[in-house]
Structure 1
Amino acid sequence: MEMTKTNTLSEVPKSSSAQSLDDASDPEGVPNCEDRAGLDAGPPEFTRKAPFEAPDRYSTKSMDQAADAYLARFTLGISPYGLASTFFTWAVHLMGAPGKQVQLVEKASRKAARLAVYAVTAARDPDCQPCIEPLAHDRRFDDGGWKRWPYNLLSQNFLLTQQWWYNAARGVDGVSDREEQVVSFVSRQMLDLMSPSNFIATNPEVATQTLRQGGANLLHGWQNFLEDWERAVSGKLPVGTENFVPGRDVAVTPGKVVFRNRLLELIQYAPSTESVKAEPILIIPAWIMKYYILDLSPENSLVRFLVDQGHTVFIASWRNPTAEDREQGMADYLQAVDEAMGAVGSIVPKRKIHAMGYCLGGTLLAAKAAQMARDGDDRLATVTLLATQTDFEEPGELQLFISESEVSFLENMMWDQGYLDTKQMAGAFQLLRSVDLIWSRYVHEYLMGRRPEMFDLMAWNADATRMPYKMHSEYLRHLFLNNELAQGKFLVGGKEVAISDIDVPVFCVSTTSDHVAPWRSVYKLHLLADTDITFVLTNGGHNAGIVSEPGHEGRAYRIRTIGKDEPYQSADDWAAAVDAHDGSWWSAFVAWLADQSSGESEPPSLGAWSGRYKAEDDAPGTYVFQL
């Protein structure tokens, strides 16, 4: 998951950062597989993938599934077949494009000449202007040693090569945008592997420290590696996470578990004010990670902040599924949310609910809210979506891992083990930001011998969960691949649901540097929902932008409400027209909730005195400790 923090909102990015790799000096810039006869199959636009069905473990197909499952152990769940197919398509079309080949030869010659000119100039003046600058987020060559010979030539050659490959992957006739992005992404991963910053002899900072310390940094790095390896093979969390134990250091807001079913524990938090807002808040976090991202340390806990502002807060703590839960699907998770709403309604009777969903939990909540509106269920007062996509047509860089080949490969892998493992999930997220999450760590911890200090958000990020086979397959196919929720084709309770049916006010938060749910994709909610939408764009990433407590240095946000009768405004026009405010979006959210509240009342009891919703275990409950 994305961990970096962006400290300015002065400019909203208008495109992928990879586009800046295009050479500014170059003028050219940058069916269903089952056979059916006759009319039985119907027109292609009316055919649908069959609903999830557990495969027969004793069919001949199980041979293919077993082979994929075995191979996936070495590829972290990434399909080599899909990558091979994409690269073959790109290579064949490039072979048939002599104009593109000439262009690439010309670019290579021009870049070689630029490097030669720079080498001569830098020999006279080491502080001369480089012939190419790294991307804004690339910090590998910040050290002053990269200005000295020969390190300056090594870094400049690497950056020019990286730029050339970006141009080689793009603009090939007959290759789709997604295929070009995959080729560019994979080639970037291979180049990052060979970056001069990754080797002792070619990294001036590492070489200097090695000479200065007589190799002690390498000894410390080797010790760090052995410690990490021992923890990995024994299933332990990374070094330092022992200082952030739920219930002791994080997730310490007082409360009780008031309901439990097979998939979730419902935690109700104790009030900290004499009176509370009449309507309770129910938070549905993503079950890809532990719930306490929203209840970290006391000073940056959104849950504690809401409680201190006079709200009655409930949150779902999801169970960490095992192979026994392989058949738990989207319908089961929707039913679990419905039961949680029933518990909240019983503990705080005759009051509507402010429902909040985060990431995948927000997508689930949006589908649930649409189903409730369709069926005339009026238990919701408002809906809040945090870093949540409802339209998956442009899901950002995650789409590089979502194709028919990749989903089938993942399904076969999960068929074998019954779930998607945490390591397999983390591998994809780390590759999205491999420079920061893989190679930077390798250099600093293993070559420099320096351990970064663990902090609460990093410790939470290491405390991952698994995903059930059936649920994850349905999620990838119906939402990512087929985009059924945005098209009004997603089934809940056997009938389609439409986001346009949601008729309660919506508060939607997105972040400028989100690699998981890009803000322009999140903004597409305006095209789907027919209700008042208060949209917030804050700086930061998928996690750090949401965990944005008041007083957090460098935080800023944009906010505007667009009524259901107002005309649509594009994402970029919206960003250009809305002024930025310094500070945390949390304060704006509390003010918005106050406007949606019907008043105040006495705090409700923690759970019921007896029966199904009797308060028993203290927060954070038991599910959060499942490994």
Structure 2
Amino acid sequence: MPEESITQENPTGGTATLAELQHWTWLLGRAQQMLLEHGIHTMNAGALPGWSDPAAFARASADFWSDSMKLWQRFLDPAKAEAAEIAPEHARDKRFRAPQWHEDPLFDFLRQSYFLISDHMLKGVDALEGVDPKQKEQIRFATRHFIDAMSPTNFPATNPLVIERIIETRGENLLKGLENMLTDLGRGQLTHTDETAFAVGENIATTPGKVVKRTPLYELIQYSPTTEQVYETPLIIFPPWINRFYILDLTAEKSFIRWAVDQGLTVFVCSWKSADASLADIYWDDYVERGQIDAIDTVRDLLGVEAVHTVGYCVAGTTLAATLAILAARGEAEKVRSATFFTAQVDFADAGDLQLFVDDEQMKLIETLATDGFLDGRYMAATFNLLRGRDLIWNYVANNYLLGEDYAPFDLLHWNADVTNLPAGWHRSYLRDLYRDNKLATPGGMVIAGTPVDLSRVTTPTYVQAGREDHIAPASSVWKITHHFAGPLKFVLAGSGHIAGVVNPPSSGKYQYWTNSEAVETLTEFVAGAKETKGSWWPDWIAWIAEQAPDKVEAVKARIPGKGRLKALGDAPGTYVKAR
């Protein structure tokens, strides 16, 4: 009888030939033998470095052996096997959402094996005793990224989608992927989106306005009013200098700047200069005194107003906190009517994974990377990509290097790749003073522009927004600002993370936010008593802004860019944002 006709039902209802059955019988038998040998070796394991209790290691490895045997039993005889318990994070794992990972028994086994090994590797790190907590976090961070790198989705032979694409294209996808990879190696940066799809000033960063001031550090952009009347108190936005400002002015539908203008605000933005050799000696004093305070005084003088609203995003929010403290110490706190913080930290005691990059060795490495007094922005971009390696690195390895997919146009990812250079000394000072030494949280711990910084002197009305899933400025870390400022403060927890949690226009109908008017000490208490509201938090913010300064004036004269004492130097978005 031909062997092709000797078949047996497989676990998914298909058929297998006699040769295939013989092969899989041998393979599974050998695997069981390997697991048995591993288990015996584990039971006899002695003390290992980092383990104060050898028995704990034995128990952990025995658990791995036991779980592995259960997995093999489910594969060999699913009808009699104990049902698998799928952890929620594994069930949501987008890397394995294709049906092949669940319907094909081989790839289903591969997927579950990967999860099993991953879980036990992380449990092994958690079981380490006698290790410095920071070192343990570094080990856990490295382990997580090793696990992500070793995912079967990242290799052609273990990714069913790649195998199918190779057959479908006769290997052309691998050539296309190689071309993508070589291009990225040549530019020294991972590509995330179609680079030809967006152009600054053409289809992103298009809100009408003028550059009304240019300094060696920043361009001040004033946006054209769209309402007949505007709030008397203008708004100055300080975006992070580690990125281009147009994260708040993406496409018209997503633009926070355009939306704020439409609400009747006179909006100004500081567009920071990407560092070059001319900014080699820029430090804290410059970004506070020659940056934020200079912009505040410029706008006050231009519009003839006593005070301004301010927004500080991320690191610019940290700097804004120092600015407010300095103004308070000088008796000039009235210059700022309100301060809004987008995912900004002032107390870095629990600042998340970025703290793992600020030990002495890392600081020395950063110093060696600087050229002519500035740090190439690609290094910072790589660091932030590493914080979300699964989404921002390995996802693109699989899609664009292995599957050979074309890059999809995505304005946010275009912005993410549009890196800025950083003044090297200032960058090291920021990491050392804040992430490592947490000086800003200590009254008098820092002296900026000749003034000791004490956050407890800040009484400016404050609106604090944090992202529930923020991996750069964790919500629990952002919350700490509530323990340092002395004035009225409203805390809002938004759905999503560091970018999508901020850039969430009302028209999108996405996510939600939480508010709590009760006086609470911890973020946990805040969440427990919070009211959830569907959609964007922007309307809540503009209502709060209107409460701080409700008066309006006609949108004439200096309210129109270039019509006041400061003449237009060019159209928005200016020249600094386009400099590479």
With structure 2 as the length reference, what TM-score do the two structures score?
0.86
String of CA shifts for 1:424-453, please: whole Å, max 9, x gaps: 111211111111111111111121121341
Contact 2:516 2:529 in 1 (8 A): no
How far does residue 374 in structure 1 lie from its aligned partner after superposition? 1.1
What SS does the corresponding residue of 1:300 show, helix, strand or coil?
coil
Contact 2:239 2:270 in 1 (8 A): yes
The Cα of 1:131 is off from its aligned counterpart by 5.3
Deviation at 1:237, TM superposition (A): 7.5
- Structure 1 residue 342 displacement after superposition: 1.6
User: 1:518 aligned to 2:474?
Assistant: yes
Letter in 2 for 1:272: T
Q: 1:528 to 1:319 in 2, by over 3 A?
A: same
Deviation at 1:560, TM superposition (A): 3.3
For residues 272-317 of structure 1, the C-alpha deviation after alignment (integer angstroms, 9 at most, x for no partner) is 0000011000000000000011111111111110100111000000
Q: 1:98 to 1:555 in 2, by over 3 A?
A: closer
> What is the CA distance between 1:337 and its match in structure 2?
1.4
C-alpha distance in 2, partners of 1:143/1:112?
A: 28
- CA spacing shift, 1:345–1:114, aligned 2, 3 Å: same
Distance 1:325 1:221, change over 3 A: same
- From 454, 471, 477, give the equivalent of 2:409: 454
Provide the rounded CA distance (Å) in 2 between the counterparts of 1:196 and 1:558: 38
Aligned to 1:289: 243
Q: Bigger shift: 183-192 or 290-299?
A: 183-192
* Candidates 355, 359, 371, aligned match of 1:399: 355
Counterparts in 2 of 1:586-601, with a 5 A limit?
586-601=538-553
For residues 319-330 of structure 1, the aligned pairs below 5 Å read 319-330=273-284
Q: What is the alpha-carbon distance in structure 2 between the residues aligned to residue 264 and residue 455 of structure 1?
A: 27
Is the CA contact (8 Å cut-off) linking 1:115 and 1:156 kept in structure 2? no
CA distance in 2 between counterparts of 1:95 and 1:572 reads 37
Amino acid at match of 1:371: I
Once residues 85 and 305 of structure 2 are traced to their aligned partners in structure 1, the CA distance between those partners, rounded to angstroms, is 68
Report deviation, 1:213: 3.4
1:482 aligns with 2:434: no
Q: 2:491 aligns with which of 535, 547, 564?
A: 535
What CA deviation, in whole Å up to 9, does each residue of 1:336-370 have, x standing for no partner? 21111121011111331001100011111110011
Cα 1:608–1:449 shift into 2, 3 Å: closer
Q: Once the two structures are superposed, what CA deviation does each residue of 1:166-201 show, in whole Å capped at 9, x if it has no partner?
A: 122224333222211110111222232222221111
CA separation of 1:583 and 1:615: change in aligned 2, threshold 3 A: same
Aligned pairs for 1:79-478 (under 5 A) are 95=49, 97-99=51-53, 101-125=54-78, 129-130=83-84, 132-133=86-87, 135=89, 138-147=93-102, 148-230=104-186, 232=187, 240-335=194-289, 336-377=291-332, 378-414=334-370, 416-478=371-433
Which residue among 567, 570, 579 is the counterpart of 1:617? Answer: 570
Letter paired with 1:297: T
% identity of equivalent residues:
33
Q: Which amino acid aligns with 2:453?
A: V
Higher relative contact order (CA 8 A, sep 6+): 1
Alpha-carbon displacement from aligned partner over 1:534-588 (angstroms, at most 9, x marks no partner): 11111111011100000223320012346xxx5x421101011011100110111
Distance 1:128 1:272, change over 3 A: farther
Contact 1:118 1:131 (C-alpha < 8 Å) held by counterparts: no
Q: Contact 1:237/1:463 (CA < 8 Å) preserved in 2?
A: no
Unpaired runs of 5+ residues, structure 2, are: 1-46
| Counterpart-to-counterpart distance in 2, 1:288 and 1:302 | 19
Which stretch shifts more, 401-410 or 457-466?
Answer: 401-410
Mapped contact 2:493–2:514 kept (Cα < 8 A): yes
SS state at 2:219 partner: strand
Deviation at 1:499, TM superposition (A): 1.3
One-letter amino acid matched to 1:242: T
Determine the C-alpha separation between the residues in 2 that align with 1:205 and 1:575. 41
**Equivalent AA in structure 2 for residue 278 of structure 1:** E
- Mapped to 2, the partners of 1:506 and 1:561 lie a distance apart of 14
AA paired with 1:104? F
Structure number with greater Rg is 2
2:461 partner letter: P
Secondary structure of the 1:509 match is strand
> What is the letter of the counterpart of residue 534 of structure 2?
D
The alpha-carbon deviation at position 105 of structure 1 amounts to 2.4
Q: Could you tell me how far 1:128 is from its partner in structure 2?
A: 7.9
CA drift at 1:532: 1.0
Note if contact 2:52-2:130 (Cα within 8 Å) is conserved in structure 1: no
Are the structure 2 counterparts of residues 404 and 188 from structure 1 closer, same or farther at C-alpha, using a change threshold of 3 Å?
Answer: same
- In structure 2, distance between residues paired with 1:419 and 1:560: 43
Is 1:569 the counterpart of 2:521? The answer is yes
C-alpha displacement at 1:98, in angstroms? 4.4
Amino acid at match of 2:311: M
Say whether the 8 Å CA contact 2:324–2:458 is kept in structure 1: yes
Aligned length: 526
**SS of residue in 2 equivalent to 1:150:** helix
CA contact (8 A) 2:460 2:487 kept: yes
CA distance 1:142–1:483, change in 2 (3 Å): same
SS of the counterpart of 2:571? coil
8 A Cα contact 1:254 1:270, kept in partner: yes
Length-normalised TM-score, structure 1: 0.80
**2:237·2:270 contact (CA, 8 Å) conserved in 1?**
yes
Distance 1:350 1:200 in 2: 63
Q: CA deviation at 1:240?
A: 1.9
SS in 1 for 2:55: helix
The answer as to whether partners of 2:302 and 2:564 remain within 8 angstroms in 1 is no
Task: Indicate if the aligned counterparts of 1:122 and 1:128 stay in contact, CA closer than 8 A.
Answer: no
Question: How far off is 1:417 after superposition?
Answer: 4.3
Please tell me whether residue 585 in structure 1 is matched to residue 541 in structure 2: no
CA gap of 1:587–1:94, structure 2 versus 1, over 3 A, is: farther
Preserved contact between residue 193 and residue 407 of structure 2 (Cα < 8 Å): no
For residues 225 and 585 of structure 1, the distance between their equivalents in structure 2, rounded to whole angstroms, comes to 39
Residues 551, 425 of structure 1: alpha-carbon distance in 2 compared, 3 angstrom cutoff: same
Runs of 4 or more, structure 1, over 6 Å off, are 235-238
In structure 2, the residue matched to 1:504 is 460
CA contact (8 A) 2:193 2:408 kept: no
> SS of the residue aligned with 1:584?
coil
Q: Distance in 2 between matches of 1:438 and 1:237?
A: 9
SS at match of 2:95: coil
Q: 1:560 aligns with which of 516, 526, 537?
A: 516
286-295 or 105-114, which moves further after superposition?
105-114
Cα distance in structure 1, aligned partners of 2:417 and 2:465:
24
